[in-house]
Amino acid sequence: MKKLIEGALAFQRDVFPKHRRLYSDLATGQAPRWLFITCSDSRVVPNLMVQTDPGELFICRNAGNIVPAHGEHSGGVAATIEYAVQVLKVKHIIICGHSDCGAMRAVLHPEKVADLPAVAQWVAFADRARAVVLETSQGATEDQMVEALIEENVLAQLDNLRTLPSVAAKLRAGALQIHGWVYDIRSGQFRVWSFEDGRWEQLEEFVALHGDDGTSA
């Protein structure tokens, strides 16, 4: 705990005073522009990755950046999304997977989490992505299959996201856009799913082709 306590004290002493006005404004409410759904992995730090200030990014984190489809047990995920869309009125939802995802390794090899019943039940929400990868990646190495699964899982969760009533309504009204990203920990690079082109594109390529406002599902 020593490191955390020292960090908290340093924040109070050195960081907070520099942003006192921002925190004063945030003390009475929030108005984030984006909902960022990503993995609980400690190496994934959304505000750092996309360089946002406190109050700008509403974040939902869980093992494997999973969004159970409407009607399935979803814990707080559906509630977080509904609140972001209906109350906070975010305009964009990003589902962001990442490289070397332990949850996706568990999806690929469910037998390895057989003694972790809660984990096994949760990662089963990504079984659709697993089925696609097993069918289309025959002959691939373990690492290649995990990489394919990370991408395929983001696409599967985007489809699940569309089944949530609040999201479906906002998408139909043109009041919401959804996006799929994958973050590479080693390089710091992002891949973005292009709904228009039907493929993954490096972020720089995506911006060059589509602009920096993204494309809607």
Q: Which of 13, 1, 18 is nearest to 54 (CA)?
A: 18
**197 classed as catalytic:** no
Q: Which of 20, 60, 73, 98 is catalytic?
A: 98
- Cβ neighbours, 10 Å, residue 180: 25
**Pick the catalytic residue: 13, 19, 33, 41?**
41
Could you say which of 43, 53, 143, 199 is catalytic? 43
String of DSSP letters for 162-211: HHSHHHHHHHHHT--EEEEEEE-TTT--EEEEETTTTEEEEHHHHHHHH-
**Known catalytic residue at 109:** no
Strands (E), the chain: 34-39, 57-62, 92-98, 177-183, 190-194, 199-202
Burial class (CB in 10 A: 0-12, 13-18, 19+), 95: buried
Single out the catalytic residue among 101, 105, 179, 191: 101
Q: How many CB atoms lie within 10 A of CB 168?
A: 14
Known catalytic residue at 184: no
Could you give the residue numbers annotated as active site? 39, 41, 43, 98, 101
